[in-house]
């Protein structure tokens, strides 16, 4: 099945482009201490927005390729809205960071992100329902969810909620992102479980990987930000682990949608 995906020349090209972007960003973070956080952000933020926009455009193209009244049209339509909102949130984040040189958390970007979860949630509900198949391995999903939630609560959410350093809004947002990411990731995983053995499982596996990586990165970011180990003039492990895989998460979303397009003969 993987070979089928890799047999596609354009898909191989897209993967190569993704790897080059990731390689470039890793290299950029290698020079973090020499370049400084603002210079790194000046490259990283626009790249992130472009990659996020790529995913949104992919969803848009899938929406356009589907026909009126088709169930998948709604799936891609909601995903388009969600990913555009997230791309917009990334752009706002970059704007606050680069042009206003403000700490972007919390900011208007969070509003866009928060609202963006709604269409994404609807997307995954509709996609799962469109498969018309009972959920396989429900216990596995519950265990993964419970383990993920336990880690998030014990190591990130609970300490942040217990501290006085974050405002109520920041605490609420941290909890929402932690739980929201996990819920969305698990819903995507449910779709993958149903599709295992079919070609469509690959786009959804890549998308799910992106969403789960994003969950980890978000938790890492909020933990690092709260503990004061994020950013600063010298590169910390927390900064590298929160930022670099975060771009990989968006790349995975975009590549997942591109592979879905290729399977449908679009693009």
Partner 1 sequence: MAAGIAGSDISALLFTDAWGRVVFVDSNFLHLFGGRSAGSLVGEPLYRVLNVERQTVSSLLSDVAKAGYVQGVPLDIQDASGQVVTLLCSGVATYDDKGTFIGMDVTLHPPEARGSLGTPSIHGDVILARIRQIEAEVQKRKYRQQQTALQTYFTAHINALHILLGRMAGPRVCRSLQDTLNQMADRNGWPVRLADGGVTIGDELEAGVYRVLLAEAVSFSVSVVGRRLTAQEMSAVEAGMDARLLEAARQAGMRPFF
The answer to whether 267 touches 261, Cβ cutoff 8 Å, is yes
Burial of 3 (0-12, 13-18, 19+ CB in 10 A): exposed
Other C-beta atoms within 10 Å of 138: how many? 11
The distance of closest approach from Cβ of residue 209 to partner 1 in the complex, given in angstroms and rounded to an integer, is 18
Is the CB of 135 or the CB of 150 nearer to partner 1? Answer: 135
The phi and psi torsions of 224 (rounded to 5 degrees) equal -65, -40
Q: Tally DSSP H helices, then E strands, for the chain.
A: 11, 0
Residue ranges that bind partner 1, judged by CB under 8 A = 65-67, 70-72, 130-134, 136, 194-201, 263-265
Which residue in the block uniquely carries the two structure tokens 């799936």? 75
* Contact call for residues 79 and 260 (beta carbons, < 8 A): no
Residues 6+ apart with CB under 8 A from 219: 151, 152, 155, 156, 177, 178, 181
Task: Select 9 or 132, whichever has its Cβ closest to partner 1.
Answer: 132
Residue 129 C-beta: closest distance to partner 1, Å: 8
Q: Indicate the residue among 56 and 194 with the shorter CB distance to partner 1.
A: 194
Task: Spell out the residues 6+ positions from residue 171 whose beta carbon is closer than 8 angstroms to its own.
Answer: 160, 161
By beta-carbon proximity to partner 1, the closer residue of 87 and 261 is: 261
Nearer to partner 1, 128 or 166 (CB): 128
In the complex, minimum distance from the CB of residue 265 to partner 1, in angstroms, rounded to a whole number: 7
Closest distance of CB 135 from partner 1, Å: 10
What's the min distance (Å) between Cβ of 122 and partner 1?
Answer: 16
Which residue lies nearer to partner 1 by CB, 201 or 229?
201
Provide the token pair at 112: 């866009």
CB of 133 to partner 1, least distance (A): 4
Cβ atoms within 10 A of the Cβ of 136, count?
11
* Minimum separation from the CB atom of position 263 to partner 1 (A): 7
Which residue, 76 or 93, is less far from partner 1 as judged by CB?
Answer: 76
Q: Cα separation of 170 and 251, whole Å?
A: 27
């Amino acid at each position: 099945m993987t070979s089928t995906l890799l047999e596609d020349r354009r898909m191989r090209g897209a993967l190569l482009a993704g790897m080059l972007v990731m390689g470039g960003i890793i290299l950029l973070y290698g020079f973090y201490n020499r370049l400084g956080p603002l210079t790194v952000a000046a490259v990283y933020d626009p790249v992130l927005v472009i990659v996020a926009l790529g995913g949104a455009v992919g969803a848009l193209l899938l929406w356009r390729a589907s026909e009126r009244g088709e169930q998948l049209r709604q799936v891609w339509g909601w995903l388009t809205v969600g990913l555009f909102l997230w791309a917009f949130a990334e752009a706002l984040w970059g704007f606050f960071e680069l042009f206003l040189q403000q700490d972007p958390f919390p900011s208007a970007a969070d509003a866009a992100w928060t609202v963006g979860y709604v269409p994404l949630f609807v997307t995954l509900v509709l996609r799962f329902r469109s498969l018309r198949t009972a959920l396989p391995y429900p216990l596995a999903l519950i265990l993964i969810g419970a383990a993920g939630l336990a880690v998030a609560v014990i190591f990130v959410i609970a300490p942040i909620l217990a501290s006085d350093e974050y405002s109520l809004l920041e605490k609420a947002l941290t909890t929402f992102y932690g739980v929201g990411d996990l819920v969305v990731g698990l819903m995507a995983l449910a779709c993958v479980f149903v599709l295992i053995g079919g070609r469509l499982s690959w786009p959804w596996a890549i998308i799910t990987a992106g969403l789960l990586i994003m969950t980890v990165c978000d938790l890492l970011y909020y933990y690092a930000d709260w503990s004061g180990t994020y950013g600063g003039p010298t590169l910390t492990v927390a900064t590298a682990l929160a930022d670099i895989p975060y771009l990989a998460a968006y790349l995975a979303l975009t590549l997942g949608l591109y592979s879905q397009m290729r399977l449908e003969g679009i693009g």
